[in-house]
Amino acid sequence: MFFKKQKPAEQPRERQRPAAQTPQMASVFSYHASRAAVTDPRGRHPLEQQEKPLARKRLRRLPKLKTIGTVLAIFAVFFLVMNVDTNPKVVVLGDDNSIFLQGMAQYKQTAQQLLARSVLNTNKLTINAAPIVQGLEAQYPEVHTATVALSVFGRQPTVYIQPAEPQLILATQHNGQFVLDSSGRALVTVTKKTPLPTGAHALPIVTDESGLEVKAGDTALPKQSVMFITEVAGQFKAKQLTMSAWRLPAQASELDVSVSGTPYYVRFNLQGDAREQAGTYLATKNYLDSKNIKPAQYVDVRVSGRSYYK
């Protein structure tokens, strides 16, 4: 017979506590929980740690604001320094030749109008002084040259006026007398109130017999002719000779000069050398005086190195 083998009786098991949650889950939970509750070991609250970067950003912005303010201040100073006032100051150079100048208010008003013609003239970097100079010289013949100067820090421009130096007086047949400068330009019309130089500085009065009509600002004589006349006048003055009359006859390129105390006049060629011709006449005069010869009409020195008398 077969008997069923009986299983041994199971021993009673001791009751065990259920296993705790896995360490991984506990650490995850404790990590999030502890980060929200843990206090900084230095005693600072986590919120303070979040505010600190914001404060640093604000501090970083302050230098940028200071830089922008500095740039704006420099720009403002630069604008003020470069700005030009349209109310100029007028200064006359060489007071000895200023007798033919008009009042300073007149030149200042004209310069102010010329400055105001262009908005570019309100800045030192863009101002164009050429039209101002040309306008003054064209409008006022008595002004030889004009110059516009700008100060480095000042705003008011300075207009320097160099008066034209008078050389002679041209007496025309129709328009009266005019003071000419070294270029032959008629500076002003001579009137009874014109303050002409006197004595040793008296100007030679040259009579023009050609019938030329002249007005102030015109070129009445070529520059070479003016230089010739002034050279002859200087040579005669050095020898203490006084000229009683100067004439420009209708014939081209001729100058006739009457010497005080002689019955004749001297004929010059304006196209020749003034110093040479004057020297030729002075040598001829010495010869005539030594021989007690007195020409009745003229002494002609128009040919280089030669003289003729009649």
Output the DSSP codes for 104-129: HHHHHHHHHHHHTT-GGGGBTTT---
pLDDT at position 76 is 52
* 211 and 157 co-located in one domain: no
102 with 188: CB under 8 angstroms?
no
Q: Give the CA diameter of the chain.
A: 204
Average pLDDT for consecutive 10-residue bins of the chain (310 residues)? 50 52 46 46 51 56 64 56 80 75 88 89 85 91 90 85 92 91 91 83 91 88 95 94 93 91 95 96 94 94 93
* 108 and 216 co-located in one domain: no
Indicate the residue among 145, 163, 181 that finishes a domain: 163
By C-alpha distance, which of 246, 259, 268 is closest to 288?
Answer: 259
* 270 and 136 co-located in one domain: no
* 183 and 152 co-located in one domain: no
182 with 223: CB under 8 angstroms?
yes
Q: Alpha helix locations (H) across 38-117? A: 46-82, 104-115
* 214 and 137 co-located in one domain: no
What is the distance between the alpha carbons of residues 291 and 88, in angstroms, rounded to a whole number?
A: 66
* 108 and 231 co-located in one domain: no
* 144 and 159 co-located in one domain: yes
pLDDT at position 28 is 45
pLDDT at position 33 is 43
169 with 181: CB under 8 angstroms?
no
* 293 and 203 co-located in one domain: yes
By C-alpha distance, which of 166, 153, 172, 170 is closest to 80?
Answer: 153
Residues 6 or more apart in contact with residue 235 via CB below 8 angstroms: 274, 275, 278, 279, 282
Domain presence at residue 187: yes
What is the distance between the alpha carbons of residues 109 and 111, in angstroms, rounded to a whole number?
A: 6
pLDDT at position 224 is 95
Domain presence at residue 95: yes
Domain presence at residue 276: yes
Distances (CA, A) of 35 to 43, 147, 264: 15, 83, 130
- pLDDT tens track for 186-231: 998 998 888 888 887 889 999 999 888 888 889 999 999 999 999 9
Provide the phi-psi class of 199: left if phi over 0, else alpha when psi is between -120 and 50, else beta.
left
59: buried, middle or exposed (CB in 10 Å: 19+, 13-18, 0-12)?
exposed
Range of the domain at 261: 166-309
Domain presence at residue 9: no
Number of domains in the chain: 2
* 177 and 300 co-located in one domain: yes
Strands of 72-202 (E only): list them.
89-92, 143-149, 158-163, 166-171, 177-181, 186-189
* 273 and 290 co-located in one domain: yes
pLDDT at position 26 is 44
CATH code assigned at 284: 3.40.50
